[in-house]
Structure 1
C-alpha cells in the first residue's frame, strides 16, 4: 500500500509554512501514521489543510488555473498566504510500498507577467538502488515547463551518486502549456512508468465532501463502482456492491446493525420511471424507509462504512469532520473502523481526518494526532501530540487524549 510519510505546505492560505511527518530534508522526524488525525478549534485552518490536498489533486486533473477557482477557492491571490509574495509550494514524501525507496515530489505554483497562475517548477526524485547516502537523483526536473526527464524504469546503482544518467536515457522536455502539471502530461507516456504510477496515485485520492442532501437525491438506475465525493451516487454504489460484492455488502449491513439499533436491512428499489431508491428496513415497521426519510447521521455512517469496503479502494482518503451528525458514542467504533482499514486486517488505504470532537480524539494515540493552532500573526502551526512527553505520560496512565485536548491542557503545552 502506498503511504505518504510527509507533506509540506508553504504559502497556502493560513498555512504559510507547515510540515506533517518526515521529508527527505528532515529524516529525523517520524513518518505519518496510516491513520492521521488533525484537531483544531474553529478557524484554526483545518479546512485549509484539507483543501491543500484537494487543490493539489485538482491541479493534476484540471490544471493550476482552474484548480485555483474550483470549490469556491476564489483564485490564486485568495489562496496565497496574505502578506507574502512567495509561490504556493507543496512537497510530498511517499513510498509505493513499505520496501520501496521513498520518492519526493516538489511543486511550486506562481504567477506569470499577466497574473495568471502557472507551474514555476516541478521535480520528482529518488535515490538509486543501493544508494544510502547523498542527494536523491532527480528523474523529473522542470522549470517553467522546460527541463529533463529520465526515461528508465528504475535508477541503476552508481558509485557516484551525483553522476547524471547517460544522455540516451535522458530526454529534454519543453511543455507548451505551463498551466498544466508535467506529471499530468508525461505520466500518460509509457516511457515514464514511475511518473505514471505517481500520477495514478494522486488521481486515486478520495476527498470526502459528503452531503446528506446529495445522498437523498434519486439517481437514475445503474451500478457505479465507486462512491463520488459528495455522495450523490450512494444508491448506485449500493447497487454495485449488492450485485458484484454481496459478501462485502453484507459485512456493511452487519456493522450498521450493530452500530444503529433497529436497522435490519438496506437495499435498493427501482422506481417506475427508472430511478433508484435507497431503502432502509427498520424493526417494528412493515414498510421500509427511504433515504429521504433517514437522518443525516445514518446516511453518513452508512456511506463511510460502504466506502471502507470498496473492493478497489482509494490509496489516500481525506475526511473532514466525520463526527458531524453522529451520536458521540459511535465515534470510537468509527475510529476503530478507520484504523482497521488503514493498519489492521484490511490495511488498504491511508486515512487523513480533521476533527474538533474530543470524543473522537479519545480513541486515538498521541502519534496519530496533530494539533493545529492559529497564532497571533494569523498563520497556523502544526504539532504532533506525541512530541509532548507529559501528554504521552498521562495517556499511558489512562487519561484519554481527547479529554486532555478538551481541557486545553495540550494547548497550554504549545
Structure 2
C-alpha cells in the first residue's frame, strides 16, 4: 500500500507554510522522520485542523474536475479566498503543495510538486507549475530525476515502461502542451496510456477517502443496489451493509462482534429490502427488545461508530483516509478504543490504509504515541505552525515518566508556549 512520508502546504488560507514528515527533495526536511501509518493532528478550535483536511480534499477534487471548479467547490469561494490573507492581492501568488510518497515499502520515493495560481491570459485558476520526480534506480543520493516538468501546461513528460526502468534513456522523452486548467497527471493518465508512474500516482490521489460522514445522511433510505464501498457522506451505508452481509458474511460477523464489544446492547444489525418499494432499511436489534430499531431511531454515536467500522473493514480500503474530529457524538470512553482501532487497521492488516485524523479530544489523544501526534497552533499573525510531539524534549520526558499525551494536552503542556 502506498504511503505518504511527508507533505508541504503553502499559502492555503491559514496554512502559510507547514511541513509534516520527510520531504526528500528539501534539504531542511530530507532527514526528518517520515509520517507514521496513523497521523493525528491536534489543536484548539479555529487553529486550522479542518483547513489541512480541506487542503487534501482540494487536491482530490482537482483529480476529477478542473482547478477553477475545485477552487469554487462548496464554500471555498474561489482562488482568491483560498490564498493566505497576505498574498490575496498578489496576482503572482500560488497555492503550493508537495507530496513525498512511496508506492510500496521498497519502492523509490516519488515527489509531486504542484502550484496553482492565476492564468495571466484568462484570469482563471490554472496549474502554473507541476513536477514529478523520482530517484534513479540504484541511486541513494543526489537530486531525483524529473520525469514530468510543466509550466502553464507546457514542458516534458516521460512515457513508456522503459523510462521506469532506465531514466537515462531519452527515447521516451515527450514534449507536451496541455490545458493548464487541469492537472497534467490527470490529462496524461486519461489520454496517454503509456505513463505508468504518472497513472499510478494519479490513481493514488484519486483513491483518497475524505470522510464527510453525517448521521443524518446515514439515516436516509436509499434504493437497493449493490455497493461495496462507503461513500464520503454515508448515504449508502444500508446498501454497503446489505452487500457485506450477503457477500462477505464472515467479515460482517466480525464487525458485529466488535461493535457489540463497544456498544453494549447491540446484538445484530441486518439490512431489509422492501419487496415493493425496493428501499433498503437498516435494522438494529437491541438485546432488550424483540422489535428492531431502524437507523433513523439510532443515536448519532452508534451510526458513526458503525460507519467507521465498515470503512476500516473494507476488503479493498482506500490508500489514504482522512477523518475530521471523529470524536463528535461518541462517548468519551469509546475514544481511546477508536484510536487503537485506527492504528490496528493502519498497521496490522495485509492492506494497510494510511489514516490522517484531526482531533482535540484528550481521551483520543491518550491512545496516541508522540510520533503519531502533531500539534497545530495559530500564531499572533493568524497563520498556523505545526510540530511533532516526539520532537519536543519536554513532552518526551513527561511521556517517559508515564504521563499520557491526553493529560498533557488537557493540561496545556502541548500548546500556547508551554513547551
Common fold by TM > 0.5: yes
1:131 aligned onto 2:133: no
1:19 aligned onto 2:19: yes
TM-score for the superposition, normalised by structure 2: 0.95
TM-score for the superposition, normalised by structure 1: 0.96
Q: Is the 8 A contact 2:41 2:375 kept in 1?
A: yes
Aligned to 2:188: 186
Question: Of the candidates 54, 58, 62, which is equivalent to residue 51 of structure 1?
Answer: 54
Write the distance in 2 (CA, Å) between the matches of 1:390 and 1:126: 37
1:9 aligned onto 2:9: yes
Aligned to 1:265: 268
Q: How much does 1:195 deviate?
A: 0.6
1:321 aligned onto 2:325: yes
Aligned to 1:90: 97
Deviations 1:271-292 (A, max 9, x none): 2311000110001111000000
Q: Is the 8 A contact 1:214 1:232 kept in 2?
A: yes
Against the structure 1 CA distance between its residues 172 and 165, is the aligned structure 2 distance closer, same or farther, given a 3 Å change threshold? farther
Write the distance in 1 (CA, Å) between the matches of 2:344 and 2:95: 35
Aligned to 2:400: 396
Aligned to 2:300: 296
Q: Is the 8 A contact 2:317 2:351 kept in 1?
A: no
Write the distance in 2 (CA, Å) between the matches of 1:142 and 1:364: 40
Structure 1 stretches of 4+ with a deviation exceeding 3 A read 154-158, 164-167
Deviations 1:20-77 (A, max 9, x none): 1000212111000000000000000001011000000001111101101112111111
Aligned to 1:149: 157
Deviations 1:247-294 (A, max 9, x none): 111111000000000000001111231100011000111100000000
Tell me, what secondary structure is at the counterpart of 2:380?
A: coil
Q: Is the 8 A contact 1:131 1:157 kept in 2?
A: no
Tell me, what secondary structure is at the counterpart of 1:318?
A: strand
Deviations 1:343-379 (A, max 9, x none): 1245510000000101100000000000000000000
Q: Is the 8 A contact 2:366 2:407 kept in 1?
A: yes
Deviations 1:189-247 (A, max 9, x none): 32101111001101110000001000000000112011000000000111111111111
Deviations 1:71-94 (A, max 9, x none): 211111110000113200100000
Against the structure 1 CA distance between its residues 157 and 318, is the aligned structure 2 distance closer, same or farther, given a 3 Å change threshold? closer
Q: Is the 8 A contact 1:265 1:280 kept in 2?
A: yes
Q: Is the 8 A contact 2:163 2:169 kept in 1?
A: no
1:283 aligned onto 2:314: no
Q: How much does 1:157 deviate?
A: 7.7
Write the distance in 1 (CA, Å) between the matches of 2:376 and 2:158: 39
Write the distance in 1 (CA, Å) between the matches of 2:144 and 2:295: 52
Correspondence list, 1:46-125, <5 A: 46-84=49-87, 85=90, 86-113=93-120, 114-125=122-133
Q: Is the 8 A contact 1:45 1:372 kept in 2?
A: yes
Write the distance in 2 (CA, Å) between the matches of 1:51 and 1:95: 23
Write the distance in 2 (CA, Å) between the matches of 1:338 and 1:111: 39
Tell me, what secondary structure is at the counterpart of 2:33?
A: coil
Q: Is the 8 A contact 1:18 1:381 kept in 2?
A: yes
Aligned to 2:148: 140
Tell me, what secondary structure is at the counterpart of 1:33?
A: coil
Against the structure 1 CA distance between its residues 111 and 156, is the aligned structure 2 distance closer, same or farther, given a 3 Å change threshold? closer
Write the distance in 1 (CA, Å) between the matches of 2:397 and 2:381: 32
Q: Is the 8 A contact 2:9 2:17 kept in 1?
A: yes
Q: Is the 8 A contact 1:362 1:400 kept in 2?
A: yes
Write the distance in 2 (CA, Å) between the matches of 1:133 and 1:332: 41
Q: Is the 8 A contact 2:163 2:172 kept in 1?
A: no
Write the distance in 2 (CA, Å) between the matches of 1:255 and 1:345: 16
Question: Of the candidates 360, 364, 368, which is equivalent to residue 364 of structure 1?
Answer: 368
Backbone CA RMSD of aligned residues:
1.3
Write the distance in 1 (CA, Å) between the matches of 2:175 and 2:100: 25
Q: Is the 8 A contact 1:129 1:155 kept in 2?
A: no
Write the distance in 2 (CA, Å) between the matches of 1:154 and 1:400: 51
Q: How much does 1:398 deviate?
A: 1.2
Q: Is the 8 A contact 2:164 2:197 kept in 1?
A: no
Aligned to 1:199: 202
Against the structure 1 CA distance between its residues 341 and 69, is the aligned structure 2 distance closer, same or farther, given a 3 Å change threshold? same
Q: Is the 8 A contact 1:187 1:199 kept in 2?
A: yes
Against the structure 1 CA distance between its residues 168 and 35, is the aligned structure 2 distance closer, same or farther, given a 3 Å change threshold? same
